[in-house]
Chains A and B, each alone.
Chain A
Amino acid sequence: MSYELIALLMFASMMLMLMTGQRVFGAIGAVAVIAALSLWGDGGVELAFASAMKLMKWYPLLTLPLFIYMGYMLSESGIADDLYRMFHVWSGGLRGGLAVGTIGLMVVISAMNGLSVAGMAIGASIALPELLRRGYDKIMVTGVIQAGSSLGILVPPSVVLVLYGMIARQPVGQLWLAGVFPGLMMAGLFVLYVLIRCRLQPSLAPILSDEDRALPMREKLRLLRAGVVPLLIFFSMTGLFLMGVTSLVESSAVGALAATLAALLKRRLSAQVLEETLRKTLAISCMFMWIILAALCFGAVFDGLGAVRAIEGFFVGKLGLGPWEILILMQLSFLLMGTFLDDTAMLVIVAPLYVPLVGLLGFDLIWYGILYTITSQIAYMTPPFGYNLFLMRAMAPPEVSLRDIYVSIIPFVGVMLLALGLVMVFPQIALWLPNHVYGK
């Protein structure tokens, strides 16, 4: 059997195993070790455990449990309540203003945390009930929260960019800076979409009653203070890291500590909150880590098969395509696989295959990291498999049905594809800031 055929067979079996609904890490790991044993016999038996040791050496992964902890702590700490009130009062006068305010809230939260978990938890528990109570359309609101929280992995700090940085051997600092403008641009496009949509269909978003908005100016200005704590957290984490004071993993620990302190100062740090936060952090961290563990093993088998060379040969040799055509084809295949396969596993298995090829074609790997992250964002939201969908189902109030969740993302995926296209055509959107700061 040729190696290409084995690789394809492995992919197909993984797909099949995932379809049976077994735990994702088990499905991937089982296919990996069975392939390793049948290819190399006794020589393949150590491969599974070796990936556990390899995972340990990927020290930037330390940021993952710490960011997850921080996300839950932020959503419990009550910082978000004040922030929500601030956006609520300041943008409530616009038609669709509360949805716009929610996007603003999501951007601020994204700047404090590197995953979409925090935005999701805060959006579903604070913004969603408020917006529904005020008669906003539930499908639009659900979409806003899912799309908005996905900014968590594009706006620095970002765990996906950390993982990408490890795989592509690119500096995380530059990758994070490269995410700033694409993230803000995407948020801007979401806002634009919401405003236009609400202008065309005013029934989706009733304007707030006057009593809701009638606050003296002094009161309004006082609410702006809610923005101070997030700013401090952002500075203590991303700021200190970019200034070179703290290393990457240290900055995530500082952030986690800052979130705990914020909760303490707000007198929200009860034993029960702590218990909930720690338990959820353990469950989510273990889920991600075991998936990465299994996917590393799967990737190692692929590596042994020489899959990188095979893919290169396929795109460049057999299809005879130019660099741009290959890039677009790769993004499309990513999008397609991202909808069906587990998104973290995809990153660990497929990125090592594609990244060398991207470099070979002469593209900038920092820029590709951003394209990659936007693609992951879309993958996070698209059914049947996506973490945001998974979290939304767990957190949404009962009146939001599964169908609502699926339908709600359609327009936002469109907006994200537009953003992806823009960053592809104008690489400067991503590259200007890191080049400016690091003076390339």
Chain B
Amino acid sequence: MPKVVQGYVRWVDAVNRRVGRCAMYLVFVMMAILFYSTISKQFTLPALWTLDMAQFVMVAYYLLGGGYSMQLGGHVRMDLLYGGWSDRRKAWFDAFTVLLLIFYLGVLLYGGVSSSVYALETGERSFSAWRPYMAPIKVIATFGIFMMLLQAVAEFFRDIARLRGEELA
């Protein structure tokens, strides 16, 4: 494979790994927020911001973690047929079907960008009692989808390389 492609795959892997490993710890943030809300409402009025904030963290958690979990092979496949195939045949099928995955992520990204731009321009707020601005989480979500897209393209290159008898690190 060309040097550029190799470099690209290595770069995307490294970035997503780092992003994902940071996202991994957001579980603790969710726990802390919800635990704070449990305790605080025993003494004072329930805090308005906790639920909204926990939701935002959840979205960041799985969208930022998507690419890393793809590296880990976490995304389940239906392996009724797939499981019995040779590596070469798997790569053949994947090389085609991953294009559909890329298409889906592309549409997701398009929607994310347009929704983020809208939120930034109009100062969109959530309908909840706390009324937080929506732009930050939408931008984070869009970034997560973008990184997922880059990872999916890297997987595509990996399949092509495998078909040419190479293995990309």
Contacts and interface: CB of A to CB of B under 8 A. Distances in A.
A62 B55 contact: yes
A242 B18 CA distance: 40
Contacts of B62: 65, 285-286, 289-290
A363 interface: no
Given A52-B112, A62-B34, A278-B27, A19 B80 contact: yes
A278 B58 CA distance: 14
Given A21-B78, A283-B69, A30 B103 contact: yes
A22 interface: yes
Interface string A229-265: 0000000000000000011011011101100000000
Interface in B51-105: 51, 54-56, 58-59, 61-63, 65-66, 68-70, 72-83, 85, 90, 93-94, 96-98, 100-101, 103-105
Interface residues of B, number: 62
Nearest to B34: A253
A287 B69 contact: yes
Contacts of A103: none
Given A287-B74, A290-B62, A282 B97 contact: no
B49 to A, nearest CB: 13
Contacts of A432: none
Contact of A50 (B55, B80, B111): B111
A286 B66 contact: yes
A45 B121 CA distance: 20
Interface in A41-63: 45-50, 52-53, 55-57, 59, 61-62
A254 B32 CA distance: 9
A349 B152 CA distance: 25
B76 A30 contact: no
Interface in A22-45: 22-27, 29-30, 32-34, 37, 45
29 contacts: A20-B81, A20-B82, A21-B94, A26-B97, A26-B101, A30-B101, A30-B104, A46-B114, A48-B107, A49-B115, A52-B145, A53-B138, A61-B58, A62-B58, A65-B58, A250-B34, A252-B34, A253-B30, A253-B33, A282-B20, A282-B65, A282-B69, A282-B74, A283-B69, A285-B62, A286-B62, A286-B66, A384-B79, A390-B76
